[in-house]
């Protein structure tokens, strides 16, 4: 069976095969999604919409969500699968944000300290989570999902009782309990986005956040070329061989999970400064799912993902999410974008889960 596919047949070189191979190479879902995006932009163009505005918003959202998608990469590389436990790291980042907001630290200092605090919290959280995932092999995705859900709902109690007293943050009447959304206006709102931002042909470029995303991608890329990173990948692809070489895949899986959790903490801080709000309580509950969908739309799989998948997926999916609402509202009345997001996002995850392993 494998021979037929690999041995070229010079007699009847079928023209269709080249096309089929190309489709297989890029992946049918990615082609469909890209086509859908093109159609959306086409409709936008035909109905004389503000295309530059749409592009600006798309870029903003790509920069905003990029690191959260990137956070999934180490987990896949480490053999843990799709990290649905992303909210764990997100919560660490949120706690970091709340701490600096409570202290009233603004600007670069506040943003840097939020990130630092988030990372400091995410390291032990990630190690513990990695340890748990080592003991629940084969069910990492399910365990991750529900550990994430439990963490988010448990933290809801923390947000109510936590000893924060800054009147900007707590409910005005009760004097206790953090509000559901904290605004960062005038504190570190758009701190990264506006760094070196410029406009080209009406399209605003959030240089700082994009650069941050690029930097994070580069760092992760470099890390996976270092000895430590290669060890993680090696242990994933062949645990027995790795063990013979003196590498414990339990250790590398914990490292991968921790890196994923830390990146999620950094990612949410970048997200919050761009979004302008810190959303607490149930807001992080479902944040892993769009990120996972991004990675999969980019061409990643449960057991294989690259930086290209992260970037392509984020660009495609976030652009669709941005463009879908204003464009479809021209054609269909009502907010169609949320429904479309549910279908595309979860359809994509379902496709990846039910795809028969190619090996």
Partner 1 sequence: MITSRPGGTPGARRLRDALAGSAVPLLFALLCVFGILVAHIGPGFLLRELLARLARNAVLVTSLLIPILAGLGLNFGIVLGAMAGQIAAILVTYWHIGGIAGFALACAIAAPLAVLFGIGTGALFNRSKGREMVTGLIAAFFANGLYQLLLLFAVGSLIPWHDKSMLLPQGFGLRNTVDLWGIQYALDDLIKVSVPVEGSAVRIPLVTIVFIALVCAFNLFFQRTRLGQELRAMGQDPHVAATAGIRVDRNRMIATVLSTLFAAWGQLFFLQNLGTLNTYSSHTDTGTFSVAALMVSGATVSRATVAQALVGTLLFHTLFVVSPLAGKALAGNAQIGEYFRVFVAYAVIAVALVLHAWQTGRKRR
Binding site for partner 1 (CB under 8 A): 84, 132, 135-139, 141-143, 145-147, 149-150, 152-154, 156-157, 160-161, 177, 289, 332-334, 336, 338-343, 345-347, 349-350, 353-356
- Min CB(267)–partner 1 separation in Å: 22
The nearer residue to partner 1, 62 or 349, going by C-beta atoms, is 349
- Min CB(102)–partner 1 separation in Å: 20
- Min CB(338)–partner 1 separation in Å: 8
- Min CB(209)–partner 1 separation in Å: 28
The nearer residue to partner 1, 209 or 345, going by C-beta atoms, is 345
The nearer residue to partner 1, 110 or 284, going by C-beta atoms, is 284
Q: Is 2 helix (H, G, I), strand (E, B) or coil?
A: helix
By C-alpha distance, which of 85, 64, 94 is closest to 286?
85
- Min CB(290)–partner 1 separation in Å: 11
DSSP string, 313-334: HHHHHHHHHHHHHHHHHHHSSS
In our burial notation (b when 16+ CB lie closer than 10 A, e otherwise), range 24-59 reads eeebebbeebbebbeebbeebeeeebeeeebbbbbb
- Min CB(93)–partner 1 separation in Å: 20
- Min CB(353)–partner 1 separation in Å: 5
The nearer residue to partner 1, 145 or 319, going by C-beta atoms, is 145
What pairing do the DSSP bridges indicate for beta strands 203-205 and 181-183?
A: unpaired
By C-alpha distance, which of 269, 325, 270, 263 is closest to 295?
263
Judge contact between 278 and 101, C-beta under 8 A: yes
Q: Which residues contact 320 (CB under 8 A, 6 or more apart)?
A: 33, 36, 37, 40, 340, 344
Angle of CA points 98, 100, 101, to nearest 5°: 60
Q: Is 198 helix (H, G, I), strand (E, B) or coil?
A: strand
The nearer residue to partner 1, 66 or 81, going by C-beta atoms, is 81
The nearer residue to partner 1, 225 or 333, going by C-beta atoms, is 333
| Two tokens, residue 195 | 């760094």
CA distance 22 to 16: 10
The nearer residue to partner 1, 223 or 281, going by C-beta atoms, is 281
């Amino acid at each position: 069976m494998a021979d037929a596919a690999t041995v070229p047949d010079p007699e009847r070189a079928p023209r269709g095969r080249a096309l089929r191979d190309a489709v297989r190479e890029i992946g049918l879902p990615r082609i469909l999604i890209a086509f859908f995006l093109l159609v959306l932009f086409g409709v936008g163009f035909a109905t004389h919409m503000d295309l530059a505005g749409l592009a600006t918003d798309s870029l903003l959202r790509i920069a905003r969500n990029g690191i959260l998608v990137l956070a999934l990469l180490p987990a896949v590389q480490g053999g843990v699968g799709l990290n649905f436990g992303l909210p764990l790291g997100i919560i660490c980042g949120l706690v970091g944000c709340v701490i600096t907001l409570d202290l009233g630290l603004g600007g670069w200092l506040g943003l840097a300290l939020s990130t630092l605090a988030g990372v400091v919290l995410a390291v032990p959280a990630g190690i513990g989570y990695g340890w748990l995932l080592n003991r629940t092999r084969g069910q990492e995705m399910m365990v991750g999902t529900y550990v994430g859900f439990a963490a988010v709902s448990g933290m809801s109690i923390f947000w109510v009782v936590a000893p924060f007293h800054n009147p900007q943050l707590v409910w005005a009447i009760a004097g206790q309990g953090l509000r559901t959304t904290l605004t960062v206006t005038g504190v570190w709102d758009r701190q990264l986005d506006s760094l070196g931002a410029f406009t080209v042909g009406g399209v605003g470029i959030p240089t700082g956040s994009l650069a941050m995303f690029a930097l994070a991608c580069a760092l992760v890329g470099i890390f996976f070329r270092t000895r430590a990173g290669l060890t993680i990948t090696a242990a994933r692809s062949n645990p027995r061989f790795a063990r013979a070489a003196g590498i414990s895949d339990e250790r590398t899986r914990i490292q991968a999970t921790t890196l994923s959790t830390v990146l999620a903490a950094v990612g949410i801080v970048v997200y919050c400064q761009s979004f302008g709000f810190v959303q607490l309580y149930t807001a992080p509950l479902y944040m892993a799912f769009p990120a996972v969908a991004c990675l999969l739309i980019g061409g990643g799989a449960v057991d294989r993902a690259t930086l290209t998948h992260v970037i392509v997926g984020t660009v495609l999916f976030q652009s669709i999410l941005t463009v879908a609402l204003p464009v479809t509202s021209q054609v269909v009345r009502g907010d169609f974008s949320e429904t479309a997001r549910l279908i595309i996002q979860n359809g994509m995850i379902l496709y990846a889960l039910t795809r028969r392993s190619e090996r």
